[in-house]
Structure 1
Amino acid sequence: MSATLLGSALAGLGLSGSLIVAIGAQNAFVLRQGLRREHVGLVATLCFVSDATLIVIGCAGLGQLIQAHPAWVSAVTWIGAAFLTVYGLLHVRSALRPQALQADAPVTPTPRGTVIRTVLALTWLNPHVYLDTVLLLGSIAGRYPGAQRVAFAVGACTASLLWFYGLGYGAVRLAPLFARPGAWRVLDGLIAVVMLTIAASLLLAA
């Protein structure tokens, strides 16, 4: 790879990495599943594939097209805010239910289908994902010609790959800390705050 292509790839890697590390709906769910050691590979893969798909679509030029139709962004914003509000309230309920936080009791596995639907909803109904991957990364990728744009997209996708698998499987190391019910209460409370804050910010922006 030439120095020019490598520079473009590193630019995509750095920008995508800085965006994806921010606390959000996807990351909170990946973290929780990692701590539960439940469907970790499936969740990480779905998040990565979804993210990579949106990055490629944005870098291919869809970002500029969406910017010309603000009504599309507005519609997704309202749908995403509604979903995140419901999801946040569910975590409020979990944080307030001690019987659901007994660390020494068998954890009821979440059905695979439920996990898949939740991941896809948290990704595809979250306007922040579109703003970061399709619009922001897409608009910046548009400044690169030909092969450099491809390298930029590859770098951005690589950041997504490293982050989601690292977060999911890295969370397993925190499992001893979450052997206490109180730790799960705090985590569910923080997730609820994150979800409701994002939903409120979307509604205010809309």
Structure 2
Amino acid sequence: MQYWLQGALLGLAYLAPIGMQNLYVMNTALRMGPLRTYQVAGITTAFDISLALSCFFGVGLLLEKVPALINVMLLVGCLALSYFGVRMITAKPSSDREVNVNEPLLKVTIACFAVTWLNPQAVLDGTMLLGSMRASLPAGMATAFIFGIVTASCLWFCGLATATRIFKSALDEKVMKWINVLCGTVVILYGLKLGYELLQAVL
């Protein structure tokens, strides 16, 4: 339960800052009906989960074959998560950015795939985030942790679609900024946790 909760909290903190995936879901909820809104949320969730599983188990397999890389991943993860967290906090979200969601579902599906899998930054961030966390997990706890990540993805995009439809008028730049600050702080704390585990391993 502990590692499932860690995965869920980290997943939510990583997903919440406003990015292209969130913009697709939010713009759909603002401009389209409930059926299309939840179709897009489901498609986005599926692609996000597939990327998370690839990043987590791909790097995890490498760490199992080359255990010496664990401390390297902990160091990289500490630095990368701290950097990502600072970047989230200092980002300047814009509430007037739009994506075209008034398209056939197939085109929207392709667009959701592109902003997830064809985004080098998303792939790199996911690999550093999940790979470094994989290095810190005790044996046998990887499944619980990644299930937490999957749970977070399902809850986040469905919840985002619902909340956007309910609170359309309240989603201004100030609210988005506070979301980024909160989530960036959580990610930095995870980075510091990895740094602490690296010090324990070295000392």
> Which TM-score bucket, shorter chain as reference?
0.5 to 0.7
- Structure 2 residue identity aligned to 1:53: S
In the other structure, the counterpart of 1:58 is: 55
User: Does the 8 Å CA contact 1:51/1:133 hold for their aligned counterparts?
Assistant: no
> Which residue is 1:169 aligned to?
162
TM-score by length of 1: 0.58
Q: Deviations over 1:105-159 (max 9, x none)?
A: xxx9421122111111111122332233333112212322443111000001111
Q: 1:92 to 1:44 in 2, by over 3 A?
A: closer
Question: Bigger radius of gyration, 1 or 2?
Answer: 1
Q: Which residue of 2 aligns with 1:85?
A: none
Give the Cα separation in 2 of the matches to 1:35 and 1:92: 10
Q: 2:143 aligns with which of 150, 171, 186?
A: 150
Amino acid in structure 1 at the alignment position of 2:164? A
The answer on whether the counterparts of 1:12 and 1:153 sit within 8 Å (CA) in structure 2 is yes
Normalising by the residue count of structure 2, what TM-score does the alignment of the two structures yield? 0.59
- Give CA-to-partner distance per residue, 1:39-88, whole Å, 9 cap, x none: 212211111111111222222133785x99xxxxxxxxxxxxxxxxxxxx
Aligned counterparts of 1:42 and 1:125: Cα–Cα separation in 2 = 21
* Cα distance between partner residues in 2 of 1:36 and 1:17: 25
Question: What RMSD, in angstroms, separates the aligned Cα atoms of the two structures?
Answer: 3.3
Provide the C-alpha distance between the structure 2 equivalents of 1:132 and 1:164, rounded to a whole number of angstroms: 19
Give the distance between the partners of 2:13 and 2:99, measured in 1 at CA.
32
Structure 1 unaligned regions, length at least 5: 1-5, 69-90, 95-107, 191-206
CA distance in 2, matches of 1:93, 1:120: 14
Equivalent residue, structure 2, for 1:110? 103
1:1-206 equivalent positions in 2, closer than 5 A:
6-38=1-33, 39-62=36-59, 109-175=102-168, 177=169
Contact 1:58 1:139 in 2 (8 A): no
Q: Give me the identity figure in percent.
A: 31
Structure-2 separation of matches of 1:171 and 1:116: 20
Q: Which residue of 2 aligns with 1:99?
A: none
Q: Counterpart of 2:32 in structure 1: which amino acid?
A: R
Conserved in 2, the CA contact under 8 Å of 1:9 and 1:155?
yes
CA gap 1:63/1:35 in 2 versus in 1, 3 angstroms: farther
Q: Cα 1:93–1:27, aligned 2, differ >3 Å: closer, same or farther? A: closer
What is the aligned residue count?
Answer: 141
**What is the match of residue 201 of structure 1?**
none
3-state DSSP class of the match of 1:142?
Answer: helix
**Alignment partners' CA distance in 2, 1:33 and 1:53:** 22
Question: Which whole-Å CA distance do the structure 1 matches of 2:108 and 2:165 have between them?
Answer: 18
In the alignment, structure 2 segments of 5+ residues that lack a partner are: 63-68, 73-96, 177-203
The 8 Å contact of residues 41 and 165 in structure 1, kept in 2 or not, is answered as: yes
AA at the equivalent of 1:137: L
Contact 1:141 1:153 in 2 (8 A): no
